Structure 1
Amino acid sequence: MIPRYLILTATVLAVLGAEPAAAQDTSEEDEGRSLIEDGARLLFEGLRDRAGEMEPALRDFVEQMGPALRDLMDKVGDLSAYHPPEVLPNGDIIIRRKTPQELEAERLPEGEIEI
């Protein structure tokens, strides 16, 4: 079985290394393009250009943080068992675990009654 971090690294590098589609005539290309699309295109071009430089750093990150993240996920378990994080007025962040009744209500399709 292939380790998850290798699959993740390969996927990221494949996306970053993909060549952009052939450009159309510049007058047609600029029509209808939003600033967000332009920004995203520039971001991905920059990431693609730096993919070779980033690959060793990503590999090191996965090797160092992989075991810690795996341990954390083992402790946390299923993320759907928690409510979204809440920021309190004093800046504290709390993450509440859902009650068994809330979990059961989510499992049942709306309008159905458990018999």
Structure 2
Amino acid sequence: MKSILYIAALTFSLTLSATAQDVAQEQSEQDERSLMQRGFEMFFEGLLNEVEPLTEDLNQLSDALEPSLQALIEEFGPALRDLADKIDDATRYEAPEVLPNGDIIIRRKEDAAPNTDAPSADGQIEI
């Protein structure tokens, strides 16, 4: 009878020990996750605190430059639109290339679609 009690007590203590280890392991994993989460929170809070004065300065600068930029857009906007209308699709051309003599050439890609605005054989462009 004593041996059965010893076996039951041993089994109960081993089960209790294994359960305690599982609980301790789960608790440590949760602690690690919460520590990592807290670390990330602290990092981003510090980053935000460092960047906040810069964003305020940038807002002040943009407020100061806004009238000048608006005037620039009003003055150069129509000219830039005309220029954009005259320039063919940029994807039809290779990257600019600087020759040894300093000239810059931009070659048309071989597989580019033909330019429909190109002059006809007699040199005239239809309007």
- Measured against the shorter chain, the TM-score band is 0.3 to 0.5
Q: Which structure has the greater CA radius of gyration?
A: 2
Asked which structure has the greater RCO (Cα within 8 Å, sep 6+), the reply is: 1
Q: TM-score, normalised by structure 1?
A: 0.46
